[in-house]
Structure 1
Amino acid sequence: MELHISLNGSKGLAEQLYRQLRDGIDSGRLTAGTQLPPTRLLAEQLGVSRKTVAEAYSRLTYDNLLSGKVGKGTFITPAPTHVPAAASSIALASAQALEKWLARANPLADMRSSPVRYDFIGGASSKGQFPFDDWRRCNQYALRQIRTSSARYAAHQGLPELREAIARHIAFARGVRCSSADVLVCNGAQQALDLIARVLIEPGCKVAMEDPGYTPVRQLFLAQGADLQYVPVDSEGLCVEQIDDGTRLIYVTPSHQFPLGMPMSQARREALLARAAALGAIIIEDDYDSEFRYEGRPTDSLQSMDRHGLVAYVGTFSKTLLPELRLGYTIAPPALREALCIAKQLTDWHTPTLNQWALARFISEGSLLKHIRRVHEVYAARRARIVQRLQGDLAPWFEVIPATAGYHLSALAKGDLDVQFVIDMARKVEVGLYALAPFHAQAPVRSGLLIGFGAIELLDIDPALDRLRDTLQRLDGLAS
């Protein structure tokens, strides 16, 4: 065996050889069980003394990285197997609290655990559409800003430049009435929701949310000790008249109900605002993906209709840009603003400044609106093709729920179709499908599919749905 080793100069040769062999072992290039050349042979190959090689081998042996076998040679030692520490036999005083957190299941996390070739996962955007060159240029700008700024923590509410850019953008795109002073920059919408829950929810207080609804929010509210009321939805959205007296907080997704997809009607929005005013309750408006609209006239945000300072508007750039950026915000009502800022400061002080500068530049130079317009056409084509198939050859098994925005839609199962069994069979042919059932907290559960089209390419839709149709036909054949 001849190793690729390069020694420079005439001094420190043993150290150089040791370091290069150590790096090869640590990086995995030299794997466990590999036999190294004898000291005499390696010395001849490198043109150094045998003593130099022996010294390097000796140091590696001392580090438990090499071992000698009599009559066989020198070998790289397998890394020691990690033995977990024995569980403590002491009963923890916090055991009950830990059990509660272990019960906070999230079906959305399971969706991302095992990728398939054709994936209709919800909430994921297409990285192929992301303007990486524009974002790289904005990051370079951000680095220049940080380099010239004082080495201090930034404002916990967010960079003034980004807050101003966000206020202008959502006023233009969603009709939100706010100034930069109302904007709190967060690590994604999930942190914005967490902060609102922290400052408003106390153990036992009443909180209302849609059912079916966004499971991470449900688990978040329960973790804060909320007495959670699951309010049903119909074709017009949340059934407002069923909200309990004494409710302190109401969570809704009015522009694109999650997960079913229908928008809340104007009459229902007005009723919700009136009910919240009567209760003195705060409304969380989660406007997670309504910038992508395909049919009908744009609807006003609930926040723009609020005349009493009761709506906390939550938005995110995870859907328009990339989830990995972890950038979101809330438009806080005046009564909540200071408390939310304190909670943000105590949580993580502020959102990473590099990303804030980059996003501020990205929005201000018009790249965000340009990107939204471009991907809107892409998503519209994907959505149209899925709807066409659901209303065509897949119509015997599914009924699509009308939705005008976002980049997922839902389809209800017809008859006694076993949706989970269909999902399991589809995964065997590399098609990722996802059930509506996990998003329900109470019966009756609507059996069907949540179909995301943000991450699947247009040319992959027909092959994937062909496989689904063939699977359904085979199941029908077995049942007959």
Structure 2
Amino acid sequence: MSWADVYPWTAPTPGRPVVRQVYDQVRAAIHAGALKPGGRLPSSRDLAARLGVARASVVAAYEQLLAEGYAEGRAGSGTYVSADLSGVAEVAASRVESDRLMAPAAAPAPSEVLGRLSLPEAPLAARTFSNGRTLMDARAQDAWSGSTRRALRRLDAEHFGYSDPAGDLGLRTAIADYLRAARGVVCTPEQVIVTSGAQHAVDLAARALLNPGDRVWLEDPGYPNTWQALQAAGARGVPVPVDRSGLVVSEGVAQADDAKAAFVTPSHQFPLGVAMSMARRLELIAWAREAGAWIVEDDYASEFRYAGAPLASLQGLDGGERVIYVGTFNKSLFPGLRLGYLVAPHALAAPLSALRRLADRQPPTLTQAIVRDFMESGQFAGHIRRRRLAYKAQRDALAQALDAQLGDKLDVDTPDQGMHLIAYTRNGLADGEAEARALAGGVTVRAISPLHHAAPARQGLLLGFTGFPASAMDAGVARLAAALR
């Protein structure tokens, strides 16, 4: 029996490179044992004729097989299957026999943690009211381009080797200077650790602070990714209700006074948008000190306050003893940047840096160089000032359009800070149904009732306003109104 009869050779089909298809067939024939170790491969001319391809394609496929060790050349004799592939046929035969005798093996069971996590959200198009989107004006884009060109021209030595897992010291110094001036954070550059964003920082904090089974206060309703990060760390989330003054500390004490930590969004609570009152801030810090617990302050949108100066950070009020402060450039600049930071108490700086190294070794040095230049040149502060004015106008335009076009269905809660607003539904309109109808109509809104745990679920829609100019709000609300009616 010739080589042509021991394997089902087929002509290549359109859509994939011919050389790759030839290579795949010859390799499959070797794995199946149709072409034996030490046996001669078909001549390139004969195989080309059999497959109906150019001889050069077979020659290229053979060269790849030679490079990978599947084949070996013998001077003046041709090309042969490598003699040291004797195990290949045995493995193939064993696989066939196993398939004949046994049912297919079950896939390995995932860990319990994976079973508790929800699937990642599918990326959404830039539909009106998608949350978390940002804008940059032409001035900021030009400045960003300049910072990028300067970083590329320098291309310093640190880009060509591994560096500090906590991040570039120059950028950490710029972050510390900014936080002291803008947020009243008490810190040195050595306490700053650069992360890929707020979520990365929250995950690091959870791993550093908690043991499996530890109880943790979480806002109810609250940010779902924080809940999942705590679940992944093996912690037991204790839902603590939120009212107009923020986290109800007395409820947390009543439910779990022995909690090891509290994860909060005090500047702009997610999703309700309220700011934690000063009385509650001081009450929370007092509990943490007395209980020996930690506070993780996720200050994800603190730059954007539209009525007065930003509120004092919990970290600054505490003096940095019990609070891990979390911030991000992904909201102040743009989400695709993937750069954030945390400020650790002195006792936790080294352990958190070690965890950050184990996660992904270090932050990207080139991105850090660009952001550092953008900050040190004064462009970051100017960008924030302009964005604050623009986002306020966008918020107001959205609130006005909702009142005018959907006042009978939605009750708008206009926040003094943040990047989204909540419109509570009226007259029995279910927020889950409204979300689905809006999406079908080309508009993205998010139902807030699924974000509740033990607290009574209030029906409402979360609408982002920072990623869309004020001029787009009327048309977007018109599409939402059409979908809801």
The whole-number CA distance in structure 2 between the counterparts of 1:119 and 1:374 is: 21
The whole-number CA distance in structure 2 between the counterparts of 1:177 and 1:136 is: 32
1:217 counterpart = 2:226 = yes
1:361 counterpart = 2:361 = no
Write the mapping of 1:194-209 to structure 2, written as runs, cut at 5 A.
194-209=203-218
1:263 aligns with: 275
The whole-number CA distance in structure 1 between the counterparts of 2:216 and 2:383 is: 37
1:327 counterpart = 2:343 = no
1:126 counterpart = 2:139 = no
Decide whether aligned partners of structure 1 residues 231 and 129 sit closer, same or farther in structure 2, where only a CA change above 3 A counts: farther
The whole-number CA distance in structure 1 between the counterparts of 2:437 and 2:444 is: 10
Q: Could you tell me which of 103, 106, 117 is aligned with 1:104?
A: 117
Percent identity reads: 38
Contact 1:276/1:310 (CA < 8 Å) preserved in 2? yes
Q: Could you tell me which of 122, 125, 131 is aligned with 1:115?
A: 125
Write the mapping of 1:131-170 to structure 2, written as runs, cut at 5 A.
131-149=140-158, 151-170=160-179
Decide whether aligned partners of structure 1 residues 428 and 27 sit closer, same or farther in structure 2, where only a CA change above 3 A counts: farther
In structure 2, the residue corresponding to 1:318 is in which secondary structure? helix
Q: Which residue type is aligned with residue 175 of structure 1?
A: G
Return the offset for 1:346: 1.7
Q: How many residues align?
A: 399
1:127-146 CA-to-partner distances (Å, cap 9, x unmatched) read 66683332232223223443
**Greater mean alpha carbon deviation, residues 460-469 or residues 132-141:** 132-141
2:56 aligns with: 59
Write the mapping of 1:264-343 to structure 2, written as runs, cut at 5 A.
264-307=276-319, 309-343=321-355
Q: Which residue type is aligned with residue 376 of structure 1?
A: R
Contact 1:115/1:432 (CA < 8 Å) preserved in 2? no
Q: Could you tell me which of 263, 267, 273 is aligned with 1:251?
A: 263
The whole-number CA distance in structure 1 between the counterparts of 2:54 and 2:232 is: 55
2:21 aligns with: none
The whole-number CA distance in structure 1 between the counterparts of 2:233 and 2:220 is: 19
Contact 1:127/1:455 (CA < 8 Å) preserved in 2? no
Write the mapping of 1:185-196 to structure 2, written as runs, cut at 5 A.
185-196=194-205
The whole-number CA distance in structure 2 between the counterparts of 1:297 and 1:157 is: 30
Q: Which residue type is aligned with residue 56 of structure 2?
A: R
The whole-number CA distance in structure 2 between the counterparts of 1:271 and 1:130 is: 43
Q: Which residue type is aligned with residue 352 of structure 2?
A: L
Return the offset for 1:288: 0.3
Q: Which residue type is aligned with residue 226 of structure 1?
A: A
In structure 2, the residue corresponding to 1:313 is in which secondary structure? strand
1:346 counterpart = 2:343 = no
Higher-RCO chain (CA-CA 8 Å, sequence separation at least 6): 1
The whole-number CA distance in structure 1 between the counterparts of 2:377 and 2:320 is: 34
1:181-230 CA-to-partner distances (Å, cap 9, x unmatched) read 11111111111111111111111011111011111110010111101101
Write the mapping of 1:408-427 to structure 2, written as runs, cut at 5 A.
408-427=420-439
1:397 aligns with: 409
Return the offset for 1:298: 2.9
- What stretches of structure 2 of length at least 5 have no aligned partner? 1-13, 19-48, 62-98
Contact 1:315/1:329 (CA < 8 Å) preserved in 2? yes
The whole-number CA distance in structure 1 between the counterparts of 2:209 and 2:433 is: 41
Decide whether aligned partners of structure 1 residues 291 and 88 sit closer, same or farther in structure 2, where only a CA change above 3 A counts: farther
- What stretches of structure 1 of length at least 5 have no aligned partner? 1-23, 29-53, 65-85, 475-480
Decide whether aligned partners of structure 1 residues 146 and 59 sit closer, same or farther in structure 2, where only a CA change above 3 A counts: same
1:14-38 CA-to-partner distances (Å, cap 9, x unmatched) read xxxxxxxxxx97699xxxxxxxxxx
In structure 1, the residue corresponding to 2:406 is in which secondary structure? coil
1:90-127 CA-to-partner distances (Å, cap 9, x unmatched) read 563xx251x53143116xx53x53426x4211112136
1:89 counterpart = 2:121 = no
In structure 2, the residue corresponding to 1:315 is in which secondary structure? strand
TM-score where L is the length of structure 2: 0.76
2:37 aligns with: none
Contact 1:312/1:331 (CA < 8 Å) preserved in 2? yes
In structure 2, the residue corresponding to 1:247 is in which secondary structure? coil
In structure 2, the residue corresponding to 1:292 is in which secondary structure? coil
Contact 1:256/1:405 (CA < 8 Å) preserved in 2? yes
Contact 1:262/1:401 (CA < 8 Å) preserved in 2? no
Q: Which residue type is aligned with residue 105 of structure 1?
A: S
In structure 2, the residue corresponding to 1:131 is in which secondary structure? helix
The whole-number CA distance in structure 2 between the counterparts of 1:296 and 1:378 is: 16
Return the offset for 1:296: 3.6
**Greater mean alpha carbon deviation, residues 168-177 or residues 144-153:** 144-153
1:36 aligns with: none
In structure 2, the residue corresponding to 1:324 is in which secondary structure? helix
1:226 aligns with: 235
The whole-number CA distance in structure 2 between the counterparts of 1:203 and 1:150 is: 38
Contact 2:159/2:366 (CA < 8 Å) preserved in 1? no
Contact 1:262/1:402 (CA < 8 Å) preserved in 2? no
TM-score where L is the length of structure 1: 0.77
Q: Which residue type is aligned with residue 333 of structure 1?
A: P
In structure 1, the residue corresponding to 2:54 is in which secondary structure? helix
1:51-95 CA-to-partner distances (Å, cap 9, x unmatched) read xxx99922236779xxxxxxxxxxxxxxxxxxxxx9960563xx2
The whole-number CA distance in structure 1 between the counterparts of 2:236 and 2:318 is: 26
The whole-number CA distance in structure 1 between the counterparts of 2:473 and 2:453 is: 31
1:422-467 CA-to-partner distances (Å, cap 9, x unmatched) read 2222223322221112322234111100110122232221011122
The whole-number CA distance in structure 2 between the counterparts of 1:25 and 1:149 is: 43
1:464 counterpart = 2:482 = no
In structure 1, the residue corresponding to 2:211 is in which secondary structure? coil
The whole-number CA distance in structure 2 between the counterparts of 1:26 and 1:136 is: 39
Return the offset for 1:148: 4.1
1:178 counterpart = 2:187 = yes
The whole-number CA distance in structure 1 between the counterparts of 2:245 and 2:218 is: 15
Q: Which residue type is aligned with residue 146 of structure 2?
A: R
Contact 2:187/2:320 (CA < 8 Å) preserved in 1? no
1:242 aligns with: 251
